[in-house]
């Protein structure tokens, strides 16, 4: 069970902080149930979810794990190509987003950038599905890294690029 003030990844909501654990009867069934009261870190609002929810939840990675992940980024392989059918592509991207595994998100981001570069060589533009899932996967990844590294989310990309440049010089 998570504790009040823990930072967690909740589904594809991204980083949330647990504000409270309360007994509530949200279904008006006459039976109270334990709920996490979550505050999304990067948007306004409150999320109520049962403590025993089947929605994916995990702790935000530690600072050490975040730095290790950044160090491993060059070795995470991008897929050269993927499904060309938009429906299959969307399902594949959705599965990666829902699992919210940082390594998988990096692979997805790198794969979409690689796909975009190949399209640009052919004087084509990135598709809307790729744009949407690139933005979503970067938001999820950079949001978690920002909390783990205790920095503003808008500085994470520069931090990652600088750290990778420093690694390349070693």
User: What pLDDT shows up at residue 48?
Assistant: 96
Question: Residue 88 — pLDDT band, cuts 50, 70, 90?
Answer: confident
Given a contact cutoff of 8 angstroms between Cβ atoms, the answer to whether 10 and 49 are in contact is yes
Q: Which domains does the chain have, with CATH numbers?
A: 7-58 (2.40.10), 61-169 (1.20.58.1290)
Single out the residue of 31, 28, 35 nearest to residue 52, CA to CA: 35
Q: Tell me how far apart the alpha carbons of residues 50 and 55 are, in angstroms, rounded to a whole number.
A: 9
Q: Rounded to whole angstroms, what are the CA distances from 92 to 14, 16, 55, 110, 156? A: 19, 25, 18, 15, 26
Given a contact cutoff of 8 angstroms between Cβ atoms, the answer to whether 90 and 98 are in contact is no
Q: Dihedral sign, CA of 50, 51, 57, 59?
A: positive
Record the tokens describing residue 6, joined without a space: 């823990």
pLDDT tens per residue across span 92-146: 888 888 888 899 999 999 989 888 888 889 999 888 889 999 999 999 999 999 9
Given a contact cutoff of 8 angstroms between Cβ atoms, the answer to whether 24 and 48 are in contact is yes
Report pTM: 0.87
Cβ burial of 33 (10 Å; 0-12, 13-18, 19+) is middle
pLDDT tens per residue across span 27-76: 788 899 999 999 999 999 999 999 999 998 999 999 999 999 999 999 99
Query: Given a cut of 70, is residue 83 above it in pLDDT?
Result: no
């Amino acid at each position: 069970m998570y504790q009040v003030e823990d930072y967690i990844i909740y589904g594809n909501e991204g980083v949330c902080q647990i504000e409270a654990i309360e007994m509530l009867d949200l279904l008006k069934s006459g039976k109270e149930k334990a709920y996490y009261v979550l505050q999304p870190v990067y948007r306004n609002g409150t999320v109520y979810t049962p403590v025993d929810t089947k929605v994916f939840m995990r702790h935000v990675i530690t600072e050490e794990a975040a730095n290790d992940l950044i160090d491993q980024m060059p070795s995470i392989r991008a897929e050269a190509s993927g499904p060309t059918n938009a429906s299959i592509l969307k399902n594949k991207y959705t599965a990666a987003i829902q699992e919210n595994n940082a390594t998988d998100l990096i692979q997805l981001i790198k794969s979409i950038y690689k796909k975009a570069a190949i399209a640009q060589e052919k004087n084509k533009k990135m598709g809307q599905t790729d744009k949407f899932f690139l933005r979503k996967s970067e938001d999820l990844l950079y949001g978690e890294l920002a909390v783990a590294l205790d920095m503003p989310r808008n500085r994470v990309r520069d931090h990652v690029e600088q750290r990778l440049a420093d690694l390349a010089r070693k």
